[in-house]
Amino acid sequence: MEIVPSTFLALAAMLAMVLRGPHGAIPVFFALTPFGAAAAFNLPAVGGATIGVMDMGTLTLFALVLMMPKGGERIVGTMRPFQPGSFLLLLALSCFIAAMFLPRLFAGQTEVFGLSRTDNQSGIVSLPLRPTTGNITQLFRMVLGFLTFYALATLMRGRPDHHIVLRAMTIATVINFTLGWLDVVTFAAGMKELMDPLRTANYAMLVDVRMVGLKRMIGGFPEASSFGFYTLGLFGFWLQMWIASPGSRRAAWMLVATTILLLRSTSSSAYVAAVVFVMTLAAFHLVANLRRTARRRSVSIAATLGLLTWVAMVVLFASYQLVDPVTAYLDRALFDKLGTDSGVERMSWNAQAWTNFTDTRLMGAGLGSIRASNWLLTCLGSIGIIGTGLYLAFMASLLRLPIPRAPEDRKATLQGLKAGCVALFMSAMLTHATPDLGIFFFAMAGLAAGMSRGAVLESVAARNAEADPLPQVDTQ
């Protein structure tokens, strides 16, 4: 085990979580989420695997929930049939089988693109299917996401306090904004080594990559694409919060901050996913509000978002045709992507993932056995038709979570969490290399599931109290 400078960040966060207790630990946990390149420690003996500070935060949070009175029973209660937790449990079983048995069952029967590490250098190579350490590490990463979901869903079900969620998301946004600009400023000042203590994971750190002369912002992550992916989740949350919370200064400022970061990230996948997400959100609000009870502000905002998106596309098209720097930037960020060596290589990954899916009789080559550049294809190639179906069922159950009518802030927060998950899912559909949607996705999903279920239980308890009030006791 290799101790690194960010090990002390992980230890401090774990101590703070323990001292604050389960509910108080939620903001501390979210404060760790922007540190995607920070390792709690590395494991050179296990293929150079990294245990991140977020990973240790997840384990600590789950342990705190488990040690609560009847903690195990509460977690099991999150797995009620036909709720997101039950589909996630079945998905976890499917992932375990896929990681442990499928690479052995179909060994040598198909070629896969997998991650190879040599002398701390990683690359994608084609080789016959066989069991690898990647099966274990990917299963571990998926399990971390599942534990995050169950821990947060259990906590929020017992106390669906939206103020905790807003505090946690605000802290995550502020830290991400700070790290993003520290990355740019320290690089411009020739002091990029100041960020090295936060870049200790055993990943390739694309620190000094430029796009048409502009330094790509990566913040606390190893590359611009992962930074853009995380920022897009925050953007989706705060955009929906701003729409649903008239007059909220916090939502407005956080939305401005995440929009700036998203644009500055220079991540092409984040750009495309953001446009698709905004257009989808605008269409959803227009359709949802086509009734007599529609609020004028909601319709106006939805129409404005659609109009602004259209105007922005027209302006971009005109700038692309007339302004040389804009032409160069968009060509580099978007339009030339598929024609580059990287783009051709990623398309070959996708084609091979589909071949793996068919070669294994639709069962998949095993979690962690392949890489692709599309979430759906990598799921089909890894965990097969059954695992992918369970994953999609989990997503559908998450989107169908009932939203309480009151209070308005809680309703807006729950809608924001759903929107954040949708934004991340849309980005994953474009470029995600593995079935794992990340701890941050499962964190927002867990908060949403717990808040929804907690609100339903509160509503039922209130109705029961009204129907069967307690007898009045004469104390005179």
Helix, strand, coil shares of the chain, percent, nearest 5, are 70, 5, 25
Q: What is the dihedral of CA 221, 227, 233, 237, to 10 degrees?
A: 90
Length of the chain equals 476
Which one-letter amino acid corresponds to residue 277?
Answer: F
The tally of CA atoms less than 13 A away on the side-chain side of residue 419 is: 28
- Other C-beta atoms closer than 10 Å to the C-beta of 69 total 6
Task: Give the three-state DSSP class for 113.
Answer: strand
> What's phi and psi for 270, nearest 5 deg?
-70, -40
Determine contact, residues 271/225, Cβ cutoff 8 Å: no
Tokens 């759903």 locate to: 418
Largest CA distance in the chain: 87
Q: For residue 178, give both structure tokens.
A: 């700070």
Task: Give the three-state DSSP class for 236.
Answer: helix
pLDDT in tens, the chain (476 residues): 788 999 999 999 999 999 999 999 999 999 999 999 999 988 877 667 789 999 999 999 999 999 999 999 999 999 999 899 999 999 999 999 999 999 999 988 888 876 655 444 455 667 888 998 889 989 999 999 999 999 999 999 988 999 999 999 999 999 999 999 999 999 999 898 899 999 998 888 888 888 767 788 999 999 988 999 999 999 999 999 998 887 789 999 999 999 999 988 888 888 888 988 988 888 787 776 665 444 555 555 555 655 666 555 555 555 444 445 544 544 555 555 545 555 556 677 788 888 999 999 999 999 988 888 889 999 999 999 999 999 999 999 999 998 877 678 889 999 999 999 999 999 998 888 889 999 999 999 999 999 999 888 877 777 777 666 655 444 33
Q: For residue 272, give both structure tokens.
A: 């495309």
Whole-number Å distance between alpha carbons of 397 and 460: 21
Give the contacts of 214 (CB within 8 A, at least 6 positions apart): 266, 329
Sort residue 190 into left (φ over 0), alpha (ψ -120 to 50) or beta: left
pTM strictly above 0.85 = yes
DSSP code at position 2: B
The angle subtended at Cα 94 by Cα 88 and Cα 99, nearest 5°, is 125
DSSP code at position 332: I
Whole-number Å distance between alpha carbons of 404 and 68: 27
Rounded to 10 deg, the angle between the 133-158 and 439-467 helix axes is 30
DSSP code at position 266: -
Cis peptide before 5 (omega within 30 of 0): no
